[in-house]
Structure 1
Amino acid sequence: MNPTTLNVAFKTASNLWSQFHNYRDEKSREAYTALEEAAQKMDERDNSNFAESRRQAGAVTRAAHSRLERALEEFNDYREDATERLNDAKEEATKKAKKARKQAKKDSQKAQKNLKKKSSKVAKKQKKNKKSSKGWIFAGIIALLSAAAGAAYYWLRSNDKPSQTPPRVDDFQSGSHTAPESTLVYTSTSENDAKSDLVEEGAVRDEELLGSIDEQLAKHREEEAAQPTDTTRITDDHQNEGKHRLQTDE
């Protein structure tokens, strides 16, 4: 219940009871005063007028009783009215208190629901932003690696040009040259490993990849420098040239 409403109801009841008590005391004093006055009048009269005094005293007594009864009736009516008003005030205060409790409970539940919804939205947004940022980082690394691989492939293709100077047969008569086996080194990382180590090991992996690409380029250069030229075609060319000269001399 509302403390303010209860306090007002209690003060009203206290005031009503105090007024009733004062009213009853006042009526009692008036009745006793009337009786005392009548008694004094009776004492002051002569014995010869005893009958008249007795009659007057009886009239005063009846009047006092009548006034007292009317006062009691008025008090009872006033008390019933005050009790009824107090009960009405209590019922009204009880209804207001119940309504206030229900509204407070409803508002609290609504606030909790709104808070849960907002928390869920914020959590989903943070999770989405986190996934998006990771995806962009991974896509950026993949794009960087693809660009590096494309640049390396282009560089290798640009250096793979035929020599303009024809080779000599004497260079290949010293012995058989065996070309070393070319070895390609492949590095691969799984998607899960790349995602898990994006932040901590990104720079290290980039350095390792660049070092691996440099090693592969160096090996390809060595293989191209050490690889023998096809001598069969050169020998056939020399034989054809000699035959052509003999025919010309003839």
Structure 2
Amino acid sequence: MPYIDVNQKRLNYADSHPAGAPPGGLTCVFIHGLGSSQNYYFPILPHLTSTHRCITIDTYGCGRSRFTGLLQDIGSIADDVVKVMDGLKIQKAVIVGHSMGGTTALHLAAQYLERVVAVVAIGPVHPTPSTGQIFEKRIQVVLEDGMEPMANTIPEAATGSRSTPLQKAFIRELLLGQDPAGYISLCHVVSAATAPDYAAISLPVLVIAGDEDKSAPLDGCKHILAHVSSSTKTLEVLPGVGHWHCIEASDEVGKLVAGFAQAYRG
């Protein structure tokens, strides 16, 4: 799998069509959430790659993008994604983000409107003071005991009633694969995050929510959608799904993203 150097970071990514998007197709760029990696999106990609170019990135400090101690925030992650697009000569893309990545995707759309075709925010976190307190506590746990407490609790606590043991095992493996220092860095990112400038987002937005998601509750998703200025905005709610949507309901999410992107094909 290839690497690209941006902003003093070496980021790992996968590209379904390195030569460019198929005729009439779009490029979709995927930003994962905390405790995850680009592999989170692979269950939905079969719904997209026959038509669109899909680029999945390991955020700095996650997966195979090694953490080297640099400070980061939502804005720097968004800028990393834009620099990846620059390096791959991608002028515009559909930006897909999950959880923290959904917040980043919305921030990117607000700050780099000319680089974005549309946004898909999957379980986006609307930052609040209480969100920060939760992640400050999590930092202390990981400092003391590493990633195992997260792997032992999150797969059960953050999934919905439809989730299977195999899906929970996949989530557990994503968590155990995290560098604790990189995970702590991103906990600080979430803890310190402020809401994107929703009103600056005038392009099409799809928000996908789980009706059993405790990490990105439905009220927060509705708040985000109410405050973006786009005239084309949609909320899709998945029954029985928690916070790991692309794993818990891969076919439904894949079809929603593919259907949304279909409207903006060239």
Same fold (TM over 0.5): no
Looking at secondary structure, tell me which structure has more strand per residue: 2
TM-score in terms of structure 2 length:
0.18
Looking at secondary structure, tell me which structure has more helix per residue: 1
